[in-house]
Amino acid sequence: MSHLNTLKGYLPWIQTPLIINAPMSGIAKSKLATAVTTAGGLGQIGFMDDLQDLTKELEITKKALADIKTETLPIGLGVIVFGTPIKAWLDLFAKYKPAVAWLSFASASELQEWSEGIRLVSPQTRIWIQLGSVSASVEVARACQPDALVLQGIDAGGHGHEDGASIVSLIPEVADTLSELGFDIPLIAAGGIVDGRGCAAALSLGASGVVMGTRMLAAEETAIPAIYRDAIFEAVDGGQVTARSRVFDEVWGPNFWPKTYDGRCLKNQVYQKYKSGVDIQSIRSWLSQAMNGSASESLSIQDMGSIWAGTGVGMVKEQRKAADIVEEVRGSTRKNLERAMTSL
């Protein structure tokens, strides 16, 4: 069976090419997930610390998507695995049975524990694991038998592998390596895809679907303040105005993220100071003074909070409905693939 048929087997409402919203913690909630799934994509709800709030979001989603007749809740549910106690989450998986459990940011053994736990309480839920290297893909393929691997290239906004590659080399190398080892796992592309050109490229690389985080920051259903969205729309030249660094977490206090991970954010004064060698304690006290209004510099929105965004940010220019984004990317992917064929 082709990978696409496998995916359609358990995501029967999807249209192709498969477009997925990233499960962005705290901002991809029921509204976004519902809109994306209704538009024929895979809508996802991102990780939330407060499980009562998450339960409310799942209830709203369940009602909103009741017309889609599947044995699962037709969305993905994201879990940031490291440091998260598993028990209460398994109760949620057992109760809501999301079509996909999207697991990220953890060791292979932690991911194995979660995969096995979820499969036990909700056998219908498929396990997708996001990672960013060939070695992690092999380790996780062996430990977890994932239903799909989401390969996150270094262009991606938000957290990801500190050492990495773009999807241009990551996807084919993972595909070759897994195939040599006898694995047959659908691959999903993440990182830098904001339109049909990126989606067409990802499909050519061997992906069975694409994830968009940064582009979905423009969706009106994504729960971010207007000022955050405006900073995204104003950003140009994505590789210059964003950077990967651990300082975007470190500045807020002890950084609990495992050493493997940093994150891509809009560059800000914190980052500039860090790059020029200012120590983290001094940056923290400067920031708290500046936030109290007692430092000389004034702060922009990207100084006052970490604005996670990928290198594709320069092409994200206007607020749209999530469904329009999904449909536009789907249609434009076809056109771009046809155009590419004419150059052969």
Ligand X SMILES: Cc1cc2nc3c(=O)[nH]c(=O)nc-3n(C[C@H](O)[C@H](O)[C@H](O)COP(=O)(O)O)c2cc1C
Q: Which is nearer to ligand X, 106 or 290 (CB)?
A: 106
Using CB under 6 A as the binding rule, whether residue 122 contacts ligand X is answered as no
Using CB under 6 A as the binding rule, whether residue 155 contacts ligand X is answered as yes
Using CB under 6 A as the binding rule, whether residue 34 contacts ligand X is answered as no
Using CB under 6 A as the binding rule, whether residue 24 contacts ligand X is answered as yes
Phi and psi angles of residue 246, each rounded to the nearest 5 degrees, phi first: -85, -10
What's the min distance (Å) between Cβ of 116 and ligand X?
Answer: 20
Using CB under 6 A as the binding rule, whether residue 309 contacts ligand X is answered as yes
Burial environment of residue 113 by CB neighbours within 10 A (0 to 12, 13 to 18, 19 or more)? middle
Distance CA 173, CA 165 (A): 10
Between the CA of residue 103 and those of 42, 98, 190, what are the distances in Å?
15, 13, 14
Using CB under 6 A as the binding rule, whether residue 191 contacts ligand X is answered as yes
Report the interhelical angle of 322-342 vs 30-38 (nearest 10°): 50
Report the interhelical angle of 196-205 vs 167-180 (nearest 10°): 30
Among 192, 206, 209, 314, binds ligand X (CB under 6 A): 192
- Are the beta carbons of 191 and 155 closer than 8 angstroms? yes
Using CB under 6 A as the binding rule, whether residue 158 contacts ligand X is answered as yes
Among 100, 175, 308, 323, binds ligand X (CB under 6 A): 308
* Residue 106 per-residue DSSP state: S
Among 74, 76, 78, 146, binds ligand X (CB under 6 A): 78
Q: Which is nearer to ligand X, 143 or 156 (CB)?
A: 156
Q: Which is nearer to ligand X, 290 or 313 (CB)?
A: 313
What letters, b where the CB count within 10 A reaches 16 and e where it falls short, cover 123-162? eebbbbbbbbbbebbbbbbebbebbbbbbbbbbbbbbbbb
Using CB under 6 A as the binding rule, whether residue 211 contacts ligand X is answered as yes
What's the min distance (Å) between Cβ of 196 and ligand X?
Answer: 14
Which one of the spans 21-29, 119-127, 173-181, 295-303 is the region binding ligand X (CB under 6 A)?
A: 21-29
Q: Which two tokens stand for residue 9?
A: 């087997």
Q: Which is nearer to ligand X, 74 or 164 (CB)?
A: 164
Contacts of the segment 299-304: beta carbons below 8 A, 24+ positions apart: 299/269, 300/231, 300/268, 300/269, 301/227, 301/228, 301/230, 301/231, 302/231, 302/265, 302/266, 302/267, 302/268, 303/268, 303/269, 303/270
Using CB under 6 A as the binding rule, whether residue 302 contacts ligand X is answered as no
Place of tokens 């690389």: 205
Distance CA 322, CA 296 (A): 40
Using CB under 6 A as the binding rule, whether residue 198 contacts ligand X is answered as no
Using CB under 6 A as the binding rule, whether residue 306 contacts ligand X is answered as no
Binding mask 232-271 for ligand X (x = CB under 6 A): ----------------------------------------
Kindly state the number of chain residues that form the binding site for ligand X, as judged by CB under 6 A: 27
What's the min distance (Å) between Cβ of 292 and ligand X?
Answer: 27
Q: Residue with the closest Cβ to ligand X?
A: 213
Give residues in contact with ligand X (CB under 6 A): 22-25, 46-47, 78, 80, 104, 130, 152, 155-158, 190-193, 211-214, 308-310, 312
